[in-house]
Amino acid sequence: MTEIDDQRLFEMLKNDENAYTAFDTLFTRHYEKLCQFAWRYCNNKYLSEDCVTDVWLKIWEKRELIETPENVRAYLYKMVRNKSIDMMQSHSKRSGILGMLDEAMTIADNTNTDDAILQGELNAKINKALKNLPEKASTAFTLHRFEQMSYIQISEILGVSVSSVEKYLIACLKELRSVLKAQD
């Protein structure tokens, strides 16, 4: 059986006869990676899953109105990035108690508490360093390092040149080195 490309599946969303199958295929194909990408913004499994689910729900509800993007994968990542940022802004406005509960639930999910704490501290340092950088630079770093995307793929998602992606990544690495050295 031939695999249908994402663009064709997106087109099929508009056809009631094939919409469910197309949606299910797109969802299955991209859900996990999008959750991992959202986690880089939310730093919380549950918020990441909520974010990605909200994006898929919006796509389903607006499927007949949404124009088929040239690059479906880039479109999905942009939607998740924007939704993650929105969710984190609204989440930060909530009380500190809810934030502590979310963090406790995330740590409880990990089987080795010591490793989880060390990993959490390292992730916090990395996230702090990334937040000090421009949005496109931190997104480029996240896509390259954690999603293993090429410079070309990142340039398509961000809408910038490949050389800009290179400059963003160099700036990120310099910032990370200085933050991690200062923390040691």
Higher pLDDT, 33 or 87: 33
Tokens of 134: 């421009």
Q: Give tens-digit pLDDT for 64-105.
A: 888 888 889 989 999 999 898 887 776 555 434 344 445 555
In this structure, the number of other CB atoms found within 10 A of the CB of residue 1 comes to 3
pLDDT at 163 over 60: yes
Distance from C-alpha of 26 to C-alpha of 84, rounded to nearest angstrom: 20
In this structure, the number of other CB atoms found within 10 A of the CB of residue 156 comes to 18
Distance from C-alpha of 155 to C-alpha of 165, rounded to nearest angstrom: 6
For the chain, list the domains and their CATH numbers. Answer: 1-109 (1.10.1740.10), 112-184 (1.10.10.10)
pLDDT at 46 over 70: yes
Q: Average pLDDT, stretch 43-67?
A: 88
pLDDT at 4 over 60: yes
